Structure 1
């Protein structure tokens, strides 16, 4: 499986604005676990608009932020400029060409939802060749399906989405593939077999408009896929959400699992 650089075309702005940030506890854990002191070189592989890279930049010497989608990188550059962050190297590239990216020896590699789209075994093999002996690989995910209960509003969103885009979750020119084995099983048979999984839970409350924006950030419901039906989709979703909860406040408990792997 390889990343489709077009999967999020037209969703970049919504991705940068409406996807939740990771909890502060995650960065505290990484700082402690890898003694981050401003001297390390880090790779954020499949960085999107820099959700992780922007937070790590203040903890390390350099971050190389790599993504196949030029639009995501542009959003990241804009955010970095707004925040006065200058030690991120934004680079267009694919996990399949990892060894050609001219990377420095890496002390830490972070992959979030991007790992789902990669050739998971090959990328770990390649990372073993560009990381220091003490380096860590960190994969951030929501955990296996069913790890946390879906919020009550999720079926409301799914019903409206299915009415416009069908029941299958599309992703770019294909469908959203579910992994055949857990990330932990995959990583334990890689060059980084020592694995620790640390969960973080955070409660996020969104407004109606924020929840609609979140849907437009997904690879399976991008503005491009909705096309000229986008305005009607937003209106129907707004109406359905407010019928479900007229307060316009929608709560979700988000589980982030940090899979930390070392040699």
Structure 2
């Protein structure tokens, strides 16, 4: 059970891995540049990326370290990550199928530990304490706060139409109900991201040293917008059961432009020591 009362189960992202790489906007290269300046890394350290998914952050940061381990509870995500690494010729990363709650497991001592869109799915106090216990002296924990599946609504003139995100949300609720799905159950409304600073400090971390990357406008194809929907835990393909084809047809009717523009929000990078 996580710290806010939700019980993890392996169907959380079942079927989503195939859509994740297409549906999520890559992290900007500037993120790696910020961390290269902020972290204790000279190309010889070890990185542990917790909840790595398909390796979106893992592979971006891999050149900064001698060795990298990406861990995730979803075997499909790790298979996609391994394929991405092979395609990119990245050879200093290994992938481990385990939950964050299993840390430190038998993993080597990391210089840096990263969380990106993953910490909230864990038993946060337990995992923060485990990471604190396994970090090398002088090491750092990095928490990347980012939204990569969709942009914020904006009145700013855009090169192309914005995706109909409100209508997509309504469509999901029409098929799956009003409460946000999360695996076999629903996500509790009590989750509070701002509790994380208290949790990190209770585990013995100091900080954060905060960095920000600015908003950015991205161009997205209709395929990418549709894939972004299936990359979400609350719209994972298996949730629709035998109505998936029906939902997909309705989604395609909504997302019918060739090209869209979205304004992705600020990325906040917190470094804890």
Q: TM-score, normalised by structure 1?
A: 0.89
Q: Is the 8 A contact 1:12 1:49 kept in 2?
A: yes
Aligned to 1:252: 263
Task: Find the aligned partners of 2:152 and 2:77 in 1 and give their Cα distance.
Answer: 30
Helix, strand or coil for the counterpart of 2:138? Answer: strand
Structure 1 position 155, deviation (Å):
0.7
Alignment match, 1:12 = 17
The alignment's C-alpha RMSD in Å is 2.0
Q: Which among 118, 132, 136 is matched to residue 136 of structure 2?
A: 132
Single out whichever of 12-21 and 37-46 deviates more from structure 2: 12-21
SS in 1 for 2:21: helix
Q: CA deviation at 1:202?
A: 2.4
CA distance in 2: counterparts of 1:225 and 1:123, whole angstroms: 28
Output the TM-score relative to the length of structure 2: 0.86
Asked if structure 2 preserves the Cα contact closer than 8 Å seen for 1:106 and 1:135, the reply is yes
2:128–2:199: 8 Å Cα contact kept in structure 1? no
Distance in 1 of aligned mates of 2:124 and 2:262: 33
- CA contact 2:180–2:234 (8 Å) conserved in 1: yes
- Asked whether the 8 Å contact 2:116–2:146 carries over to 1, the reply is no
Unaligned runs of 5+ in 1: none
Q: Is the 8 A contact 1:205 1:252 kept in 2?
A: no
User: 3-state DSSP class of the match of 2:172?
Assistant: helix
Q: Is it true that 1:119 corresponds to 2:123 in the alignment?
A: yes
Match of 2:165 in 1: 154
Q: Which of 69-78 and 29-38 deviates more?
A: 29-38
Unaligned runs of 5+ in 2: 155-161
Q: Are 1:193 and 2:206 counterparts? A: yes
User: Residues 160, 250 of structure 1: CA spacing in aligned structure 2 closer, same or farther, 3 A cutoff?
Assistant: farther
Q: 1: distance between equivalents of 2:74 and 2:86?
A: 19
Q: State which drifts further: 180-189 or 216-225.
A: 180-189
| Structure 1 segment 1-263 matched on structure 2, within 5 A | 1=2, 3-100=8-105, 102-142=106-146, 149-150=152-153, 153-178=164-189, 179-182=191-194, 183-200=196-213, 201-242=215-256, 246=257, 248-262=259-273
Are 2:152 and 2:262, in contact at CA under 8 Å, matched by a contact in 1? no
CA contact (8 A) 1:184 1:259 kept: no
1:97-138 superposed Cα distances (whole Å, 9 cap, x missing partner): 1022x1222110001111011111111111111111211111
Aligned length: 254
Whether contact under 8 Å (1:164, 1:226) holds in the other structure is yes
Alpha-carbon separation, structure 2, partners of 1:125 and 1:168: 31
CA deviation after TM superposition for structure 1 residue 210, in Å: 1.2
* Structure that is richer in strand per residue: 1
Deviations 1:73-96 (A, max 9, x none): 111111111111111110111111
